[in-house]
Amino acid sequence: MLKEFCAENFTDIPAAIAKGVKRIELCDNLTVGGTTPSAGVIENAISYAHDHGAQIMTIIRPRGGNFVYNDYELKIMETDLVEAKKFGTDGVVIGCLTEDGWLDEEALEVLIDRAVGLQITFHMAFDAMHTEMQYEAIDWLAERGVDRILTHGGPAGTPISDNYQHLRELISYANGRLMILPGGGVNFENADEVAEMLGVTEVHGTRIVDI
């Protein structure tokens, strides 16, 4: 099982890798759900991870709050993605929505185009979508080569076990076209149970290993 560690900046990356972590979602400001870290953090986290056999997924998110971005914010995201790619990031973590809760197709197509050659994760903006839209979103994202969707499967703050049924439905619908990556409330104590209950091979969390 692959345990993806959600890191706030560089601080805990060495300890997480020492505990066996092979992939890291690199963020700043986890109190607001994660924003893009500084160029220095990205560059040095990638260098350290690659020297120690781990991958870096850099979040591309200009601020906390909702996932509806204006043209200036989208340009910021595009620039940050290009810079992270130059530093050698293995992948990026993105998510953009429209005011009515659907995928911001135009913005996502620009970012996906910029991310050619990288892994792409659609982040928990997915959980802000109406449930009935999520299945169509899986279709759209899979068709454009997105590798995985990070989701809690239900409202933030709920135990992930409460969301097993919906997560199973999403996994079944995705049918291997992309990966449904469970996160939010997954930790080193329950990761094995979550993986077994959902039949997944990857899990995500800020406490996915005991450091």
pLDDT at 156: 87
For the chain, what is the mean pLDDT? 97
pLDDT at 93: 98
β pairing state of 55-59 and 179-182: unpaired
Residue 9 is predicted with a pLDDT of 98
Residue type, 9: N
For residues 48 and 90, give the distance between their C-alpha atoms in angstroms, rounded to a whole number: 13
For the stretch 103-156, pLDDT in tens is 999 999 999 999 999 999 999 999 999 999 999 999 999 999 999 999 999 998
- Residues in the chain, pLDDT under 70: none
3-state secondary structure of 160: helix
Report residue 154 as tokens: 């239900």
Under 8 Å between Cβ of 119 and 147: yes
